[in-house]
Amino acid sequence: MDQATGIVGQIGKPVVSVPVTISVHSRSDAQLNQTFHYQLYPNFNATLQSAVSALLAATTAHRKLGNHYTVHVVGDLNFTAGTIPVDEVFGNPRFKPDEIMLPLAVMLGNPFHRAKLTGIRLHVTISRQDTNAQILSVKVNRRIVAPGDSITATVTLLLYGGSQKTIVLPLRIPAGTPDGSYHLMVGSADLALTDATRFFPESFNPQNQHELVNSVRKILSFKPNRLYASLILNPAGVATSAVQLPDLPPSRVALLALNQSSNSAPLYNNVMVSAPAEAVVGNGGAIVHIVVRRRADSRYLSLKPGLPPEPPPVN
C-alpha cells in the first residue's frame, strides 16, 4: 500500500508545540474512561484538521459510538487573544468534531491579527441514550398585553421514542414599553441565533480581535439543549461600526437612522429567557406578533359589546 508523508516547517527554528488534553468519560462503561495527551504543532493549514482528528480519535479510541448516543463536550480553546469556552451537546447521528473545532479556524484566520493557539483542554462525556427531540408545537397564552404584563410560551417537544415533554417560558413586558406590535421568537438555539443576527448584527460584526473573541463566545452561548424565547421591543438606541449609543430619545434614533453615511443600525430593547430542554432540540420554533396596548387589561377585564375576544393561542 502506498503511503504519503509530508513535512512542514523551517530548518533551524525551535519546535513549538501546543498541549492538547482530551479526557473521555463513558456513563455506561467505566473501562472506557481515559485521558489522552497530544502535542499539536501549529500550522495554519493543518492545525484545524489535526485538532479534529485528535478529538475523533480520542472519542472512538475503544468503541464506536453506535446507533444511539449523546456526546457532551466541555472545555476551553485557549489563544493569546483570550479563551473560547466549549460546551456542546450532540445527539445521534450528529456528532461532528469539526463543529467543535470551528472556532480554531475563525481565530487563526481572522483578518485583524492572527491569534496563536496556546492549548486545548476538553472533557467528553458519552451516554448510550438518544436524547434527540423535535419541537411539536408552540403556544402563547396571550397576544394582546399591557406594559408590565406577563406572557407564557409553552413548547411541546417530541422526544425520541415518541413521548412528549412540555416546557414553559415566561416573559414579562417591561413597564415602559410603548404601544405597538412586537416580534416574539420561541424555539431552538439555531432559530434564536438566526433571530439574534437579524436584530443585533452589531454583536456579530467584530472590528478588532477583542470583539472577535466576544462574537465567537456569543455565538457559542446558544446551546442545542436549551429552548429560547426572545421578544424584540422598541428601538432604544443606535449602534454604528464604532460605538453603541443606548438610551437615546426617539427623535435622536430617527435622525441617526436617516444618516446613511453613519452605517448605523437600531438597538432594540429585548427580553430573552431560556430554559433547559434536557434534550438535543432540532431546529424549529415559531414567530408570533405580540401587541402591546396600555389599556389592554381593562379591555379584557370588562369586555364591551361588539369587541372581539382575545385571539386564541398560537400553535
Per-residue pLDDT at 311: 52
Q: Which residues contact 304 (CB under 8 A, 6 or more apart)?
A: none
Per-residue pLDDT at 298: 53
What is the C-alpha R_g of the chain? 24
What DSSP assignment string belongs to 295-312?
A: THHHHHHSPPTTPPPPPP
Q: Which residues does the chain have with pLDDT short of 50? A: 1, 242, 248-262, 299-309
Handedness of CA 299, 301, 302, 303 (dihedral sign): positive
Map out the domains of the chain as residue ranges.
18-127, 132-301
Helix (H, G, I), strand (E, B) or coil at 199: helix
Per-residue pLDDT at 39: 92
Cell numbers found for residue 29? 462503561
Per-residue pLDDT at 7: 61
Per-residue pLDDT at 256: 45
Cβ count near 199 (within 10 Å): 17
Per-residue pLDDT at 302: 40
Per-residue pLDDT at 305: 45
Enter the pTM of the model.
0.79
Q: In whole angstroms, give the CA distance from residue 188 to residue 280.
A: 9
103: cis peptide before it, omega within 30°? Answer: no
Per-residue pLDDT at 200: 87
Q: Dump pLDDT digits (tens) for 85-138.
A: 999 998 877 788 888 998 988 888 888 877 889 999 999 999 888 889 999 999
